[in-house]
Amino acid sequence: MAHTALVTGASSGIGEAFARALAGRGHDLILVARREDRLRALADELPTEARIIGCDLASEAPSVPAQVEALGLDVDLLVNNAGFGTYGRFHEIPEGRDAEMVRVNCEAVVTLTRAFLPDMVERGRGGVIVVASTSGNQPLPYTATYAATKAFAQFFAEALRQELRGSGVRALAVNPGPVPTEWQQVSGVSTRELGVPGEISAEQVAAEALDAFDRDRRSVIPGRVIRTFMRLSKPSPRSMQLRVTERLYRPRS
């Protein structure tokens, strides 16, 4: 019997790439996102069975487990991918938008992981993949809340992985660098504008992440260039990192 993977934010970008890669491995899918039309189109293309759940995770994440139960399915792999970012001076970002981001990028991850993890542990198999970001490795002026949510996602996944050792269940933090997706459209800035090196495709992110998951890695930064860049910048003092990133990310207007 095919295992079932639930992928959030599956309507585009990295989430869609995960769905396609997992279907290629023979997984049945539960695709979760706000845009049901895109989910239906994707489900029709996949070679395995794919169910869809239209859901705004900012407000409806607690409803997802009941909808999965109604489908009569067990979740063997949870891919917490849904998320978005904002860009600009914190006090100028529309009121409530960053709080909504925290609900999607952090609270929904906790809610869904708590819902599906106990059954995985009881079965003695399964896994949780959390898509964080290299942005979570340091404070980032002008994407302050986004970077903080991704630090949360990264640390949450890594701590889970340690807790789950010996249980048969795995956890992985995926920390992509620049990836051309709709994230840039939502946030209002592209990583190319900011000059962040090492851009790779969403498909490469999914492929390297699943390879790392197979090898029971704690975390992975997909892409050789951005891995090297992050490794070289890590020893620098936090104060220096903040000065450099403030200049790099400073709004041009």
Known catalytic residues? 146
Show the tokens assigned to 198: 């090492």
Those residues whose C-beta lies under 8 Å from the C-beta of residue 34, and which sit 6 or more positions away, are 11, 54, 55, 56
CB 191 within 8 A of CB 184: yes
Distance of CA 173 to the CA centre of its chain: 8
Q: Which of 146, 143, 175, 98 is nearest to 242 (CA)?
A: 143
> In the block, which residue shows the tokens 């970001």?
133
CA 115 vs CA 71, 95, 111, 127, 156: distances in Å: 15, 30, 6, 13, 15
The whole-angstrom separation of Cα 113 and Cα 77 is: 10
Handedness of CA 46, 177, 55, 116 (dihedral sign): positive
Radius of gyration of the chain (CA): 18
Which residue from 75, 71, 99 is spatially nearest to 27, judged by alpha carbons?
75
> What is the Cα–Cα distance from 114 to 137, expressed in whole angstroms?
24
Q: State the amino acid at position 152 in one-letter form.
A: F
> What tokens does 93 get?
């970002």
